[in-house]
């Protein structure tokens, strides 16, 4: 017997079984894969939100708003390339008017008959007795406002109050037992959370779109008093004034604006937080207007270079570029060059954080304002005033002549006429000529009025030359100029030769 060829029976059987299993494994693996994919798709589908119940329950409280305006005679103005020659009526007209103003060609003279323009928007009912919220820009200058309900009733609405700064309007229709929305809390919204909009884009009533919260506290140009909620919910002309719901079916925002280069939805939509909107509505309901807190400063962001020039470890806060005369800020001792880091106990990370914080504060309230002044933290107490109806603007002047070679800039003293025009009581020099050098690199322009360098007030042209000669090199220095649009800080750095 050849011992080498002897194998245990069990071993042979085991090997045969392994071969059978191996031969069957491809089919089993495919089966497992298909089962896994089916299971994972079911899990994924079940994890996505189902909006059907929310829409069924709350869409009846969303309304369509149509308005009629009378336009005397459209102005001739520059239209963006590719824009139509006349503002169209209907929902597209709403878009053009909101984003480009009342633009178009003048088809008639001063004596021409007024033209009617119609626009569409959305809104939602907040009380059973007929109070409706929408955007200010939806009903602005309207001669007639019609609110169409989900049951197809059309009711004439009156404007109880409208506030341009927050873009909120409160309407009233004559009806009872109306369906209402549930007001939520926008403060608890989280970035990444699902939200849903119901409105009338392009006149298509009760259209539903969904997305997520992309960001919070967004500041938009010329919209200083609203910390917008940014979403990727599809919003188009006609959605303006409609509600933004959370998954609990509560209204957390009012759809107000989109960012678009084409006029259509591009993934950037902005809603007014409902917390702020309800504060505005309460004031509109009581008195028809809104009173906001007022500090009385012109501010700007702190850049990396400016942060270095002020001795800060990183950019933060709101840099005071001007303190308005007889304002609450002036009375409290705020100065140009102060960096506001906290207001009423809340951090000011960017300059855009400050206006909404001040605006929602009650008029007459005494608040603590934490500032950074010349490298040291300080707390001031400010009694807030009421924000004037018209935002204060600072005019710019015309250039004037004298020479400073280190900065490669030509400046001159201000004349009495220039001081009166610019509302500058004393000090400052005006830039007439600027060539390549540190000043131009910092962003100084012809016509700027230089008020301060390195935290030293500039008295006149001679003083300006003295200060410039002693400026340290290779270090960011704060430079305060006044130009068309207001005062602004720049970061000046002189290279060592």
The catalytic site residues sit at 137, 167, 240
CA–CA distance from 377 to each of 159, 310, 315, 367 (Å)?
Answer: 47, 12, 15, 16
The kind and range of the H/E element at 467 are helix 461-469
The count of other CB atoms within 10 Å of the CB of residue 89 is 14
DSSP secondary structure letters along 123-150: EEE-STT-EEEE-HHHHTTEEEEEEE-T
Judge whether 393 and 486 are in contact, CB under 8 Å. yes
Judge whether 179 and 125 are in contact, CB under 8 Å. yes
Judge whether 247 and 159 are in contact, CB under 8 Å. no
User: What span, in angstroms and rounded, lies between the C-alpha atoms of 127 and 140?
Assistant: 22
Burial class (CB in 10 A: 0-12, 13-18, 19+), 249: middle
User: What span, in angstroms and rounded, lies between the C-alpha atoms of 495 and 142?
Assistant: 59
The count of other CB atoms within 10 Å of the CB of residue 160 is 16
Burial class (CB in 10 A: 0-12, 13-18, 19+), 487: buried
């Amino acid at each position: 017997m050849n011992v080498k060829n002897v194998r245990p029976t069990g071993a042979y059987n085991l090997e045969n079984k392994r071969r059978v299993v191996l031969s069957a494994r491809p089919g089993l693996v495919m089966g497992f894969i298909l089962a896994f994919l089916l299971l994972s798709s079911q899990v994924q589908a079940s994890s996505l939100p189902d909006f059907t119940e929310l829409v069924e329950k709350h869409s009846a409280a969303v309304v369509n708003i149509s308005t009629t305006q009378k336009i005397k005679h459209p102005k001739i103005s520059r239209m963006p390339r590719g824009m139509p020659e006349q503002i169209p009526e209907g929902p597209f007209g709403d878009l053009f008017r909101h984003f480009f103003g009342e633009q178009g060609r003048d088809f008639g003279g001063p004596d021409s008959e007024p033209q009617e323009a119609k626009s569409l928007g959305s809104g939602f009912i907040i009380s059973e007795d007929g109070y409706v919220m929408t955007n200010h820009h939806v009903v602005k200058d309207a001669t007639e406002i019609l609110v169409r309900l989900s049951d197809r009733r059309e009711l004439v609405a009156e404007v109880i109050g409208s506030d341009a700064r927050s873009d909120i309007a409160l309407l009233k229709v004559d009806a009872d037992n109306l369906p209402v929305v549930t007001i939520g809390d926008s403060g608890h919204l989280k970035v990444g959370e699902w939200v849903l909009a119901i409105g009338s884009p392009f006149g298509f009533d009760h259209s539903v779109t969904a997305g997520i919260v992309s960001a919070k506290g967004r500041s938009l140009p010329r919209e200083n008093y609203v910390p917008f909620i940014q979403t990727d919910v599809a919003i188009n002309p006609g959605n303006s004034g409609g509600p933004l719901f959370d998954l609990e079916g509560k209204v957390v925002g009012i759809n107000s604006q989109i960012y678009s280069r084409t006029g259509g939805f591009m993934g950037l939509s902005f809603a007014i937080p409902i917390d702020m909107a309800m504060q505005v509505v309460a004031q509109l309901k009581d008195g028809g207007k809104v009173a906001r807190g007022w500090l009385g400063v012109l501010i700007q962001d702190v850049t990396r270079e400016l942060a270095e020039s002020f001795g800060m470890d990183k950019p933060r806060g709101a840099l005071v570029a001007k303190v308005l005369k007889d304002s609450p800020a002036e009375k409290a001792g705020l100065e140009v060059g102060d960096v506001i880091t906290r207001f009423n106990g809340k951090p000011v990370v960017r300059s855009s954080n400050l206006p909404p914080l001040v605006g929602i504060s009650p008029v007459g309230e005494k608040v603590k304002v934490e500032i950074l002044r010349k490298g040291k933290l300080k707390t001031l107490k400010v009694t807030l005033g009421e924000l004037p109806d018209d935002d204060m603007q600072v005019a710019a002047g015309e250039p004037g002549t004298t020479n400073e070679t280190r900065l490669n800039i030509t400046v001159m003293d201000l004349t009495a006429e220039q001081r009166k025009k610019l509302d500058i009581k004393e000090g400052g020099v005006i830039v007439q000529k600027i060539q390549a050098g540190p000043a131009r690199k910092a962003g100084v322009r012809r016509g700027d009025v230089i008020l301060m360098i390195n935290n030293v007030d500039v008295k006149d042209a001679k003083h300006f030359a003295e200060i410039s000669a002693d400026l340290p090199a290779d270090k960011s220095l704060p430079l305060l100029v006044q130009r068309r649009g207001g005062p602004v800080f720049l970061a000046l750095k002189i290279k060592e030769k």
